[in-house]
Structure 1
Amino acid sequence: MGKFIVNGGNKLSGEVSVFGAKNSVLPILASTVISGNKSTILNIPDLRDVEIMEKILTSLGCSVERIDKIIWVDSKPINQIKIPEELVREMRSSIILMGAMLARCGEVIVSYPGGCEIGPRPIDLHLKALKELGAEIEESHGFLHCKTNGLKGCDIQLDYPSVGATENTILAAVTAEGTTIIRNAAREPEIIDLQYYLNKAGAKVSGAGTSVVTIEGVKNLHDVTHNIIPDRIVAGTYMAAAAITEGEVIIKNVIIDHLQAIIAKLKEAGALIYYDNNSIKVVGPKKINSIEMLQTLPYPGFPTDMQAQMMALLSIASGTSIITETIFENRFKHAEELARMGAKIKTFGKVAVIKGVKELTGAKTTAKDLRGGAALVLAGLVAKGTTEVENIYHIERGYENLHLSLQDIGADIKKID
């Protein structure tokens, strides 16, 4: 499983670069199956989730080659419609292959997805949208068998601005007959990146980044080369690491617009933040301010994927902070692990009350999910003594060599396999 050993007390300083966004590369890799052509994807992060998506594409018959940060996918030789159950259960994002495979093959068999256990994440919205486009879906024995005689564009009103449902619908609609309009669409930057990729390949998608996305169906897509946007959550994690350690860190290769909600809350906590076109400098405060209310919301609100890291930061703030988690029901598992380190946190359903303490102390902890694991590493950076973070395979699903990047800016952290 592997673990991180963190010796706290070092102020971080220096420069660190951000790699491609996990939540962008996965739907784009899924979308490569639509065209039956060749895709060259640049700025690929070295993550477990990306490896799983590569294996899924290979299992379907695609030719997949990877060298360093570049992946080449030739989806012409696809010869399977069933996605291996063991791979789907490892990664929730695999569900967006439903839309892409329906567009390409008119049929797909997939099991219910896995991923981090952070509460119910029903795929009802995905299924409802695909049915409206003309898919027939049978559910039995934990599997979904989706097929269509031809998808047709329509108006789709999402009950909630789900990122995955928005992406799945876009992928299914790219080659559907007629025009599809998605209302109450998710507005995340990763959806804009998906639109860029698809349009480079010849699709006609517009409105990504707004609540109304329009897809005019086209018959064919062509070869494409695309560069993945930087990961805003990884950038936010490094920003929080600088703040929690009283550090001074420059984070390079970022898109400032994507970080505004995180910037606002870190400033509220007392951090000084400076930025230009594609880099941001964070200077941590000597005294971290409590935050009266932090509420996670769909983009452009504060991201749920940064909630755990902010909880670690606020655990040593002066005063009491309140976090409300509105996206996922079971995303406070890291609270009990932070408590092992001396944090005073009480959770009540979707609300966490954090009473800041003067210092955290090192302890043996376990990463229960991806972002919660990152939060434990941040806490370890500032804790007195040594912190062990076990089950780091969760962390490696979303952070490329986190320990090495932190070492480069002065952290005392090592990985033990």
Structure 2
Amino acid sequence: MTRVIKIEKSKEVFGTVEIPGAKNSALGLVAACCLTTKPVVLTGIPNILDIKNICNIGTDIGLTIDYRDANEMVVDSSKIHTTVLNHKLTSSFRASYYFVGSLLARFKKVEVGYPGGDDFGSRPIDQHIKGLKALGARFLFFNDYYTVEAEELKGADIFFDTITSGATINLIMAASLAKGKTTIHNAATDPEVVDVANMINLMGGKIRGAGTSKIIIEGVEELHGCQYQVIPDRLIAGSLLMTVGIAGGKLKLENVIPEHLDSCLNKLLEVGFEFEIDPNSITATCRKDVKGIDIITGMYPGLATDLQQPFTSLLLKIQGKSTVTDTVYPKRFAHVSELKKMGANIKVVGNKAIIQGGIPLHGETVYAKDVRAGTSLILAAMQAEGVTTIKDIAHIERGYEDAIGIFSQIGVPIWSEEEANEPLLQNAYSN
């Protein structure tokens, strides 16, 4: 049996949702705990599959993780006994590369499987390699894994060829225990980068400029433990706001940092949304006279690529033509074929999706091919006649602690069911 999500067309959404901790921050924070031998208390950690994956990789090498409750953990890296990371676990989980930055300075050598995760075409780690080599690391590449060694990491000037939040976080961690000063140029400015830097500073690190394109790290000999709370997930917040444009109603989000959503809020204002914004909350409604818009994703503070898929489903609701151009991951359109099954009129040309909105959608069996594609399908199902069945929901669970609970809480008719597994295709020549 396989668990699926089923959704019916939604009436108005309503109520209040407390936004959980940010997945993309929490992954870096868990790995950063390996920078010290002292315990670190992390609060607000989302109870999702991606966190379980990175914790499994950590505990396999001796990391001790004790849960005080579902969203608070004590991480102790004092008993790490190896830095040979499980090849199978790391090759199926992209964020495993954070362990390279956090373990290299302490243990001088790390072995890890090639990164996996969502398939958006080419997602190279060349900037990670470039930055770590500048600090003095040596790489050896094998068929299924690679090793990184450094007798001593030394500060350096690092110039990223492209803006990358993953490599920025990785290099911040490695440089925190390197000898001397490291300057990262063309650094990512994402809130998740700032979050990791803030925690390392609380642990005794010396990082300046996080949140700007130039980050300066003065290496220290050791770091100590701390207690730290992860920032709220701006991507879940942005996606939930879009439900108001699809179903109508009024929705309040609490535990948000509104400035992290500036680019998203500005685009939703163009559509016809209206907001009441307080320091830690956003209340959204939407006018009837909505209109299609053109969206171009970019690195922060531009519109996040993770929001283009939910935006696509919102724009399907709106009469007229809209376009979504993804400059970050030009092949991130796995959701389009599934939306077309539901009746969507979308044409992909290069890195641009051309959307003809206002065409009725119908319930269908569709597959969540990555985390945000899953969100897109939920939003599309909210406006489709009949019942939509979403399969491969493990992708949704990678990013949502309780997607069914969150959406049902605001009035969306959504539930899970067990279905019989699809039969395997038999060899045509078998008996």
Structures share fold, TM-score greater than 0.5: yes
Residue number among 63, 82, 85 corresponding to 2:84 in the alignment: 82
* Contact kept in structure 1, 2:344 and 2:359, CA below 8 Å: no
Secondary structure at the aligned position of 2:362 is classed as coil
Correspondence for 2:38:
37
Correspondence for 2:164:
162
* Contact kept in structure 2, 1:118 and 1:369, CA below 8 Å: no
Structure 1: which 5+ runs fail to align? none
> Deviation digits for residues 135-158 of structure 1, max 9, x if unmatched?
011001121111111000010000
> Deviation digits for residues 2-39 of structure 1, max 9, x if unmatched?
21100113211111110100000101100111111110
The residue identity in structure 2 corresponding to 1:93 is A
> Deviation digits for residues 230-273 of structure 1, max 9, x if unmatched?
00001011101122111210011100000011101111111112
Residue number among 95, 117, 123 corresponding to 1:93 in the alignment: 95
Matches within 5 A, 1:184-195: 184-195=186-197
Greater mean deviation of Cα atoms: 61-70 or 205-214: 61-70
* Contact kept in structure 1, 2:317 and 2:383, CA below 8 Å: no
How far 1:329 moved relative to its partner?
Answer: 2.8
TM norm structure 1: 0.98
How far 1:287 moved relative to its partner?
Answer: 4.5
Q: Percent identity?
A: 37
- Aligned mates of 1:316, 1:344 — CA distance in 2: 11
* Contact kept in structure 2, 1:47 and 1:399, CA below 8 Å: yes
TM norm structure 2: 0.95
How far 1:288 moved relative to its partner?
Answer: 3.2
Secondary structure at the aligned position of 2:382 is classed as helix
* Contact kept in structure 2, 1:344 and 1:357, CA below 8 Å: no
- Aligned mates of 2:218, 2:22 — CA distance in 1: 27
Report how many residues are paired: 416
Secondary structure at the aligned position of 1:202 is classed as coil
* Contact kept in structure 2, 1:125 and 1:165, CA below 8 Å: yes
Does 2:213 align with 1:211?
yes
Structure 2: which 5+ runs fail to align? 419-431
* Contact kept in structure 1, 2:157 and 2:184, CA below 8 Å: yes
> Deviation digits for residues 98-127 of structure 1, max 9, x if unmatched?
111102211100011111111110001101
* Contact kept in structure 2, 1:42 and 1:226, CA below 8 Å: yes
Correspondence for 1:140:
142
Structure 1 runs of 4+ aligned residues shifted over 6 Å read none
Correspondence for 2:182:
180
- Aligned mates of 2:331, 2:37 — CA distance in 1: 39
- Aligned mates of 1:198, 1:326 — CA distance in 2: 31
Residue number among 257, 261, 264 corresponding to 1:262 in the alignment: 264
How far 1:316 moved relative to its partner?
Answer: 1.8
* Contact kept in structure 1, 2:343 and 2:359, CA below 8 Å: no
Matches within 5 A, 1:327-406: 327-406=328-407
The residue identity in structure 2 corresponding to 1:414 is W
- Aligned mates of 2:191, 2:118 — CA distance in 1: 22
How far 1:381 moved relative to its partner?
Answer: 1.1
- Aligned mates of 1:51, 1:370 — CA distance in 2: 15
Secondary structure at the aligned position of 1:2 is classed as strand
Secondary structure at the aligned position of 1:334 is classed as helix
Correspondence for 2:108:
106
